[in-house]
Amino acid sequence: MKKILVIIAVVFVTVFAHNEAKAQSDSTFSVSTSANPFEDQIVINIVHANKNVTGLRIFDAIGREVSSDVSFNLVSRGGILSYTLDFTNVRPGIYFCSIYSDKGILETRKLFRAAR
């Protein structure tokens, strides 16, 4: 039993250290959300100096894509993408926003849509 716990601890520390090193090497990529939880709109800012951001998709808590129900407004300024998402036509709840590049998912953020 002790050996199993030691192995789990070593794996956890190794994965954590790898993720920290990756985060430091990807310091030119960051995501920030404003007004989370939100009622109708949320702004997602993506700094992507060395990343090829190709888009984002919105999923509900059980994995259904609801991107078609969410209105997008995109503004791009000097390496910063600013998405304003309008959730007026979507029910309150937990949503996930996945940001994609040509190599796959860069990051996923949890969004909370509050009831009015």
User: What is the structure's pLDDT at 28?
Assistant: 64
Structure confidence at residue 35 (pLDDT)? 76
- What does the pLDDT look like over 54-112, one tens digit per residue? 888 999 999 999 988 787 777 777 778 888 888 988 899 999 999 888 888 888 999 99
Q: What is the pTM of this model?
A: 0.68
State pLDDT tens for residues 24-52. 344 466 888 777 888 888 888 888 766 77
| Assigned CATH for 28-113 | 2.60.40.10
DSSP assignment of the chain equals: -HHHHHHHHHHHHHHHHHHHHHHHHTTTEEEEEESSSBSSEEEEEEEETT--EEEEEEEETTS-B-GGGSEEEEEEETTEEEEEEE-TTS-SEEEEEEEEETTEEEEEEEEEE---
Between 111 and 10, where is the model more confident?
A: 111
